[in-house]
A and B are shown apart, each in its own frame.
Chain A
Amino acid sequence: MTAPNIVRAGELAPGAAPVTPYGIPHRDGAMNPSVDALRERFGGAIGRHAVVWGETTVYVDPARALDVVRWLHDDPTQRYDYLVDVTAVEYRDLDTPIEVVWHLRSLPFRRFLRLKAELPRDAELAVPSVVPVYRSADWLERECYDMFGIRFTGHPDLRRILMWETYREGFPLRKDFPLRGRFSRSEQLHQALAAHPENRYSMEELSIADAFQELPADMRERLGGERTGE
C-alpha cells in the first residue's frame, strides 16, 4: 500500500511552504484536509470545525465516534496511526455539554486532528470505546472514566485506575466535586485504610489474592468464578 503524498523526514509536503511557529495565524489557518474527507464520508455525523493556532478540531456525533476513528485509522488516505490522548473537558457553564477529546496524529502524512464529541449533561455520559482500534486507549479511557465518570462502552476492563477500586466519593475532576473531597478527612482516611493493600494488583494476581472477597461485586463478577492457586 503506497500513498502518493507521504511526507518523509526532512521533506515538505508537495507544494507546501515551510511553516514556522510565527507564521501560524490564530484563527482560520490552513485546515487539516481530513475534515473534508470526513464530511464526504460521514456527512451528518460530522459537526462544526475550528482551526486554532494551526490545529484543527472537528466535532463528531458521539454515537459514530468509533466509526470515524476506525475509518481515520484504516483508510489509506488518512492513516492516523497514533492516538496521542483521550481526555474530557467540562466547562463551568452548566449548559455547555461535556466534551470527550481524542487527539490523533498521522505520522505518514504529518497531520494532527483533534476530535471532539459533545455529551449532553441530561443523558448518560457514554461514548464508544476506541480500544478495538487503538490498544493504547485502554488506560487513557480508564483514567477518563476515573476522573470524569464517562462510560466508554465496549471497553474490556473499565474500572478506576488512579483512585482505588472502592473509592466512593465520585469523580474528582468534575466541577461539582469539592477540592478536598466529599467526605470528612477522618472518613476518607478510614476508607483508605480499610482498603486491602492487595486491591491494586493486576487482575490476574487479584484473582488469587486474599482481597478477593473485599472487591466490589461487579469486579468479582468480571474476574469470574474460576479461582486458582489457593
Chain B
Amino acid sequence: MGLITAPDRPAAPLTSVDPRSQEGWVTTRLDFLVNWARAASLWPMPFGTACCAIEFMATAASRFDLARFGMERLSYSPRQADVLICAGRVPFKLAPVIRRIWQQMPQPKWCISMGACASTGGMFDNYAVVQGIDTIIPVDVYVPGCPPRPEGLMYGILMLQEKVKNERMRDERIRYEIAPDPTSKLYIPPPRIDELSEPFGNSVQQNRSAL
C-alpha cells in the first residue's frame, strides 16, 4: 500500500551501449586519467622553517586560495602527503629530519623548494645552513624569490601540475626511491656537492677567518 511498483516491462540489457555506436562513451589513456586526478588533488606537506612559511600561509589563506588547485588539505603528516613544500632555510641540524620526512612520504611524491634559501642556501653561505635541499632530497620545482610572492608559489605549483600531467606510467625511473649511499649518506657524489656549493659573488672571500 503506497508502494511504488516498477512497471511491468522487460529489464534493460546490461550493456545498453552498442560499441559500434558513436555516442555515450569515451576512451582515454589511463595515464591521462590518473595524472589528471593526481595533479588536481595534490596534498602538500608544508615544511616551513622561516619567512617563506609566512608567504606559504598567505598562499593557503583565502585571498590567494590554494584550494583552487586541489591543495586545501594541508597534510601535516608526511604519510598522507604528496608534495613536500620546503619553505625556508634548512640548517644542517635539520638535514636528517627533512630526509626522514621525505622517506616517510609514500610514492608518488614530489618536492617544491620554495625560496632562495631552500634552493641554494641563499645569503646564508655559512657553516650552519645547507646549500640547497637538493643535496639532501630530490627536488622537482624550484621557486625563486626571497621570499616568493604567493603568485610565484602558485606558478610553481602549476608547473608541478604540468609535470605531473606529463608523467608516463611506463617510465619506471620516476617512481624509484633514491637510496643514499650507505657510507657517505649522500645520493649525489661528494665532489658534485662541493662544486655546487662553491662560493660565488660577495661570498667568495668568506673562506677567510677573521684573523
Contact = CB atoms under 8 A, between A and B. Distances in A.
B87 to A, nearest CB: 20
B126 interface: yes
B54 interface: no
A219 interface: no
B76 to A, nearest CB: 17
A180 B199 contact: yes
B210 A92 contact: yes
Interface in A193-207: 193-197, 200
Interface string B90-108: 0011011101100000000
B190 A192 contact: no
A122 B200 CA distance: 37
A154 B206 CA distance: 37
Interface stretch (A23-31, A58-66, A170-178): A170-178
A86 to B, nearest CB: 21
A196 B96 contact: yes
Contact of A193 (B99, B127, B206): B99
B22 to A, nearest CB: 59
Contact of B209 (A94, A178, A191): A178
B92 A187 contact: no
Interface stretch (B38-46, B64-72, B168-176, B180-188): B180-188
Nearest to A185: B197
Interface in B70-126: 92-93, 95-97, 99-100, 125-126
Contact of A197 (B97, B131, B190): B97
A179 interface: yes
Given A175-B210, A179-B207, A192 B92 contact: yes
Given A187-B190, A189-B135, A189-B193, A195 B96 contact: yes
B152 to A, nearest CB: 27
Interface of B: 92-93, 95-97, 99-100, 125-128, 130-131, 135-136, 180, 184-186, 190-191, 193-194, 196-197, 199, 203, 206-211
Contacts of A189: 92, 95, 130, 135-136, 185-186, 193
Given A163-B93, A190-B186, A94 B211 contact: yes
- State the main secondary structure of chain A at its contact with B: loop
Among B92, B125, B208, chain A packs the most CB atoms within 10 A around the CB of: B92
A186 B186 contact: yes
Interface in A29-54: none
A191 B128 CA distance: 12
A178 B136 CA distance: 23
The 3 closest A-B pairs by CB, nearest first: A186-B190, A181-B127, A192-B92
Contact of A175 (B126, B136, B211): B211
Nearest to B205: A179
Nearest to A186: B190
Given A94-B211, A176-B211, A177-B209, 17 more contacts: A164-B92, A169-B127, A175-B210, A176-B209, A177-B127, A178-B208, A180-B199, A180-B203, A180-B207, A184-B194, A185-B135, A186-B184, A189-B193, A192-B96, A193-B186, A194-B96, A195-B96
